[in-house]
Amino acid sequence: MAPIQKGDKVLVTGSNGYIASHIVDILLSQGYLVRGTVRSLERSAWSQKYFDNKYGKGKLELVEVKDFGVKGAYHDAMQDISGIAHVAGDVSFSADPNAVIPGTIAGVRDILLAANKIPSIKRFVLTSSSTAALTPQANTKLRITKDSWNTSAIEQAWAPPPYESARAWSVYSAGKTQGEQELWKVAAESTLHFEISSVLPNANLGRLLDDSQKQSSTPSWITGVYNQKSIPEQLKNLPPQWMVNVVDTARLHVVALTDPDVKNERIFAFGETYNWDGILQAARRIKPEAEWPLEGDGREDLSEIVPRERAEEILKRNFGEGFRGLEETLREQLESY
């Protein structure tokens, strides 16, 4: 029997965000109810309207949690909940590890221990990141397993000051790494009455549910190239890496909440490797009338992601198809413009 039944209510934190809104969409489409937390009901009004129109009123309930860093922030929101998708996190990209990492660790511990006091909760899934396992490196062979952790990012993030802007990515990655490590630490130390998993997505691309998502972290990469007709300087330094369709990331969260055979595991959401050459070639086929830069720089991602096979297997078993490729994903995003 599935741990969460149709009609049960799932808490999705940060539910108006890019990944989280797709999790909400899939849960509602499968007959679950959703309570979503947002920092501002006013700024999230599009989400309520969108899902009310699509699935009918009463299926999505939004509650305001203005500061999810406060101890007990989610206590009221998790009453009568059967599962939690904890997606909300620090995306400030501060270069100061003290401003990001301790709060991230404390936040994961707090929501887990609060959830452990709610008897109805059966599943908990944390949105981690590919950066909890590795930092992409161009033209470098890496082998990533379920036991891989991005210890180099932790070292770089916590190096002595000054905390200059170049450190921001290491701080973000270290926060994701140490935040997810805290998930497994709490589970080892405590007797949790529910099962846990984490999802580690790489660069999420794909369909936008609202115009506000054009400036979300990874979708903004494509938005920037589309609008500026060139690769923005800040993107040129990004190494080639893996991408994943945001719907596949959302599906893996839903699987972690609902599939009785998927529990207590790290799920690696890695769809396909990409570089700027591949993106631009696909973009020209999809929107030939637009003005696209001529080429990227030819670098490649050579990493081997061993747990990817497991993620694709559970996608196929639950949704009838595996990861969507780069061109299909770009088509879905560009058609949202």
- The Cα–Cα gap between 291 and 289 comes to 7
Q: What is the pLDDT of residue 227?
A: 86
199-223: average pLDDT: 91
In order, the DSSP letters of 281-313 are HHHHHH-TTS---S---------EETTHHHHHH
Q: What is the pLDDT of residue 1?
A: 66
For residue 70, count CB atoms less than 10 angstroms from its CB and return exposed for 0-12, middle for 13-18, buried for 19 or more: exposed
Q: Is 151 left (phi over 0), alpha (psi -120 to 50) or beta?
A: alpha
Amino acid at site 259:
D
Where residue 301 falls among pLDDT bands split at 50, 70, 90? very high
Where residue 69 falls among pLDDT bands split at 50, 70, 90? confident
Where residue 288 falls among pLDDT bands split at 50, 70, 90? very high
CA angle 270, 247, 203 (to 5 degrees): 40
Q: Do the bridges between strand 9-13 and strand 266-269 make them parallel or antiparallel, or are there none, so unpaired?
A: unpaired
Strand partners, 241: 274
pLDDT in tens, 84-136: 999 999 999 999 999 999 999 999 999 999 999 999 999 999 999 999 999 99
The residue among 199 and 236 whose pLDDT is bigger is: 199
- The Cα–Cα gap between 202 and 181 comes to 18
Where residue 229 falls among pLDDT bands split at 50, 70, 90? confident
Residues contacting residue 42 through CB under 8 Å, at least 6 positions apart: none
Tokens of 164: 């200059």
148-164: average pLDDT: 98
Tokens of 83: 């599962």
Q: Report the length, in residues, of the chain.
A: 337
Range 68-75 contact pairs with CB under 8 angstroms and sequence separation of 24 or more: 68/13, 68/14, 68/37, 68/39, 68/107, 69/103, 69/106, 69/107, 71/106, 71/110, 72/110, 72/114, 73/107, 73/110, 73/111, 74/11, 74/13, 74/37, 74/110, 74/111, 74/114, 75/114
Tokens of 327: 């061109």
Classified as helix, coil or strand, 149 is coil
Is 80 exceeded by the pLDDT of residue 246? yes
Classified as helix, coil or strand, 84 is strand
Q: What is the pLDDT of residue 233?
A: 78
Percent residues over pLDDT 90 in the chain: 87
Is 80 exceeded by the pLDDT of residue 150? yes
pLDDT in tens, 25-35: 999 999 999 99
139-165: average pLDDT: 97
C-alpha closest to that of 125 among 317, 263, 308, 312:
263
Is 80 exceeded by the pLDDT of residue 2? no
